[in-house]
Amino acid sequence: MAAAAALPDPAVFHFVAIKPTHYDDDGYPIQWVRSAIPSNTLACLNGLAEDVRRRNVLGPDVDFRIHTYDETNRRVRPEQIIAMIRRDGGRAMIGLVGVQSNQFPRAVDLARPFLAVGLQVCIGGFHVSGCIAMLPELPADIRAAQAMGISLFAGEAEDKRLDEVVRDAWAGRLKPLYNYMDDLPSLQGEPAAILPREHVRRTSGSLSSIDLGRGCPYQCSFCTIINVQGRKSRFRSADDLERVVRDNYAQGIGRFFITDDNFARNKHWEELLDRLIAIREGEGLNIGFTIQVDTLCHKIPNFIEKAARAGVRRVFIGLENINPDNLLAANKRQNKITEYRVMLQKWRAHGALTYAGYIIGFPGDTKESIKRDVEIIKRELPLDILEFFFLTPLPGSEDHKLASARGDWMDGDMNKYDLNHRVAHHPKMSDKEWEEAYKTAWETYYTPEHIRTILQRTAANKLGRLSTTLTTILWFTLAYSYEGVHPLEAGAFRLKFRSDRRFGLPRESPLLFYPKYVGGTAVKLVQYLSLYLKTKAMVKQIARSPQRYDYTDLAIAPPRDDEFEALDLYHETNGGEGALARKRRDDEIRDKAAAPVPVSIARAS
């Protein structure tokens, strides 16, 4: 590891935490004036660093300075950071935090200029942790980063583990690897995850984040969380939650994304929601939440009711597929398609905007079956937003581990592992067919006709939020159709800088770059405006219709007696008939168990 640069005033230490973005297909960092989702890792590291400063880990005479950057909404210029460190004096550590596989190439490129002047760099996040957890040896890209002098951090930095890294950096002796994968810490009582207000204002809706639990008990083969955060869940307390909410609210932030992969499986959910209800209803704090849940959350008594009272207005649901055979192939046995309609209708009844993730490329998929399944969802499930992902062997997942062991082809460019690019081959579809199927899925769901249907469903619901639904649909439609990025990594107004192009790619001539960037932006703005005006006119028409609250369709209609016989959901997909048979069998067993014991038998016993 390179020694720390010889700088004046050694009583200053700069902790620079950068959450990197990743490159677009032309090699430019994906950046926005405002991004969609805040970085919870950056918020956690900022909170932990604040705790390091409060406790004077480097001694009472050291001025511990924290600098945080989220590259999705703020340009990171290493030369300016280096100049700041030299101007202010002291020593420094550059931390590339929360680095996912698709962000690893960008993280390494950001490290280059810091390493060149002798500053210490450490990279942590899911890519490093997942590879260490699942592979017998480190892949070439991580080994190359180590050879450059980059230190690696695997695992989580709570339980004062950041102290060790900071002390080593202060001494100029960062270790090549900090590996905590075998010792995941408790979260209770840990410092609150918080970012300065100026950071949060760079996200859409001034949204901050909280993680109340880590780990997941399920065994989905495509998932990295179970192998990085563990299968035994760990939780924060209600006091921790209240502290995060109040600290953020004090700086004017009242909207939060709870980043837990499945909040419904947090065994303390009721205590946590009760605390939020007390804050909202007892004190009148205007707070709102977005959560992620599974498809069986509605079966937990009072869960949805209390979530609504606590301020949950947006819900991400891991639907993943409507073909039970595909779900079984991915070890996602917990999803029951026979529960999808009831679950979605219940969230709708409580005014929540529902999002669902849908994976394209399971072994049983074909181009035709994917289009058919999307049409079934449109017709029969009361879902607002559907987001599509390529089935991707992410490093850290069981799928990636097995594919590596078999020697299957996987794209060597980690930048493409964003779930929006195909990086493997499919057993049935050609590469072209798979890519076309992914494109077709987006185009099939977000048609003008179905956008009108979603808006009509929202308008017919007295708790529906028509304006919010409109802006969300526009966000998803514009991101994929015009920006060419997945909506979850989209933002408002794309930024591009000619000098920030990916390492190894030539810098474009200003005579080509600026006309293309400015002209392309102008064309997109016209397209945005055109779509906005059309949908806005549609919303006005729907809102003013005398029959607004009379609208109904198959998806939002109350359950029918012949529902299981009539719906294509159970009869057009492979495995649907089997799922229906299992439900009927389970219902019969439950009904028999609940049946009253005949009097004669009861007396005899």
Q: Is the pLDDT of residue 458 over 60?
A: yes
Q: Which amino acid is at 479?
A: A
Instruction: Say if strands 491-495 and 255-258 run parallel, antiparallel, or are unpaired.
Output: unpaired
What are the structural domains, with CATH classification, of the chain? 12-179 (3.40.50.280), 197-511 (3.80.30.20)
- What's 489's DSSP letter? G
Question: What pLDDT was estimated at residue 562?
Answer: 78
Asked whether residue 64 carries a pLDDT value surpassing 80, the answer given is: yes
Amino acid at 35: S
Out of 92-96, 485-489, 548-552, which region has the weakest mean confidence (pLDDT)?
A: 485-489
Size of the chain in residues = 605
Euclidean distance between CA atoms 36 and 21, whole angstroms: 12
DSSP states of 427-478: SSS-HHHHHHHHHHHHHHHS-HHHHHHHHHHHHHSTT--HHHHHHHHHHHHH
Q: Are 241 and 194 in contact (CB under 8 A)?
A: no
Once rounded to an integer, what is the mean pLDDT over residues 401-415? Answer: 97
Four-CA torsion 345, 327, 409, 128, nearest 10 degrees: 70
Please give the pLDDT value at position 1.
41
pLDDT for residue 381 is more than 70: yes
pLDDT, position 602: 46
pLDDT in tens, 104-152: 999 999 999 999 999 999 999 999 999 999 999 999 999 999 999 999 9
Q: Which pLDDT does position 564 carry in this prediction?
A: 80
Following DSSP, what letter does each residue of 389-442 receive, concatenated? EE----TTSHHHHHHHHHT--B-S-GGG-SSSS--B--SSS-HHHHHHHHHHHH
Q: What is the pLDDT of residue 544?
A: 96
Helix, strand or coil, per DSSP, at residue 302: coil
- The answer to whether 78 and 28 have CB atoms below 8 angstroms apart is no
**DSSP-derived 3-state class of residue 257:** strand
- Looking at residue 99, the DSSP 8-state letter turns out to be -
pLDDT digits (tens, 9 = 90+) for 8-43: 456 999 999 999 999 999 999 999 998 988 889 999
Please report the pLDDT score of residue 379 as a whole number: 95
Q: Which two tokens stand for residue 164?
A: 């060790």
> Which of these ranges, 114-118, 241-245, 409-413, 600-604, has the smallest mean pLDDT?
600-604
How far is Cα 203 from Cα 491, in angstroms, rounded to an integer? 8
pLDDT at 6: 42
Q: What is the mean pLDDT of the chain?
A: 91
Please state which of the ranges 17-31, 306-320, 463-477, 552-566 shows the lowest mean pLDDT: 552-566
pTM above 0.85, yes or no: yes
Strand partners, 495: 31
Q: Is the pLDDT of residue 49 over 90?
A: yes
Angle at 446 between CA 444 and CA 449, to 5 degrees: 90
